[in-house]
Amino acid sequence: MILEKKLIAIYRDYQVFNDWKILEPKIEKVFHGSIHIQKLIKAGCLAVGGDEESLSAAIIALCCVQKSIMLVDDILDNDPRGDHILIGNGRASNQAQAFLGGALQIIIKSDFTPNQKFRMIDVISKMIIDTSFGQNLDVNIPKTEGEYWKMVKAKSSPFYGALFEIGAIAGNPNSREIKKVRAFGDIYGEMIQIHDDLLDCLDTTPGPDWVEGRLPLPILFAEIVDHPERDEFIHLRADIEEKNNLEQAQKILISCGAVAYCVDQLFPREQLAIEIIESADGLDKRVLMNVLQEVMVAPSKLIENLEKSQV
């Protein structure tokens, strides 16, 4: 909470935000729940032997980038929880641009060296282009597993890869292992997407993935794989907001193997991440291994709870 207040205080020092009073109510929302971003940037920094005390500007900038991406993503997903529901698509899009521009200004006005600033802005700009391409693929709704993974690599990997890479640049710009840290972050992003797909599909209320006809990995599996309950699943999904249809469809996700398949997809990526860590002699490997272990715990608990609920 202390760091969150520090971030808000620094954020308010930037004139671009103070001049735009409509953004004021969003400030605390941007940094509330930013613990995950802080943790990953810190991991990238510590992995190369850096000092986490220098990370405040990088954390603020990446929180602003995330807010920019989420504003646009909610519009594209027609998410009923998004800010655009209250302020309209136009204003939400405009605010997304403000947050992105603000992120770049924060990096420019930071105490990082000119070389670090250039490299961070380079990472952010490439990440925004890649993520926009990924969002475009997502809007077109991937209909095969190959299309799904192409979308994930473009939409999810760039953001998480950037968190780790910018943390490493902030911590030790001369490290020879920054590319390895980035590669780890890209794999981590794929794992997070699988994890988020599972949680969204098994939520007790039908989210945009269900209502808007989208195909996250569990639903994609249930719709394209030949299994005995496939037709029933498609029928339930067509009227998912009807009473009990969501619950019945989720039971099929479990019984047809969709949930187990998604969890299985985490293991080869975990192994690849481990190989990246072990191949880098100049890293504090414990830092990245701890991050990797944490992302593997949640799906394991999810499976355990599902198995108990089926007894």
pLDDT at position 79: 81
pLDDT at position 2: 44
What would the mean pLDDT of 27-42 be, rounded to a whole number? 75
Query: What size, in residues, is the chain?
Result: 311
Q: Has residue 29 got a pLDDT over 70?
A: no
pLDDT at position 7: 53
* pLDDT tens digits, one per residue of 255-282: 999 999 999 999 999 999 999 999 988 8
Q: Has residue 290 got a pLDDT over 90?
A: yes
Task: For residue 65, give every residue at least 6 positions away whose Cβ sits within 8 Å of its Cβ, in sequence order, or none.
Answer: 99, 100, 103, 124, 127, 128, 159, 162
- Fold classification of 2-310 (topology level): Farnesyl Diphosphate Synthase (1.10.600)
Q: Which of 280, 33, 297 is nearest to 181 (CA)?
A: 280
Could you tell me which residue, 128 or 303, shows the higher pLDDT? 128
What would the mean pLDDT of 121-144 be, rounded to a whole number? 92
* CA dihedral sign of residues 191, 193, 196, 200: negative
Give the up-direction half-sphere exposure of residue 49: CA atoms within 13 A in the CB hemisphere. Answer: 9
Indicate the average pLDDT of the chain: 86
Could you tell me which residue, 91 or 171, shows the higher pLDDT? 171
Q: What residues does each domain of the chain span?
A: 2-310
> Which residue is associated with the tokens 């380079």?
122
pLDDT at position 23: 57
* pLDDT tens digits, one per residue of 47-62: 999 988 788 889 888 9
Determine the distance from the C-alpha atom of residue 256 to the mean position of all C-alpha atoms in its chain, rounded to a whole number.
27
Q: Has residue 129 got a pLDDT over 70?
A: yes
Specify whether the CB–CB gap between 84 and 138 falls below 8 A: no
Could you tell me which residue, 216 or 7, shows the higher pLDDT? 216
CA pair distance 201, 227, nearest whole angstrom: 19
CA pair distance 100, 184, nearest whole angstrom: 25
Helix axes 145-155, 114-139, angle to 10 degrees: 150
> 0.85 cut: is pTM over it?
yes
CA pair distance 62, 100, nearest whole angstrom: 9
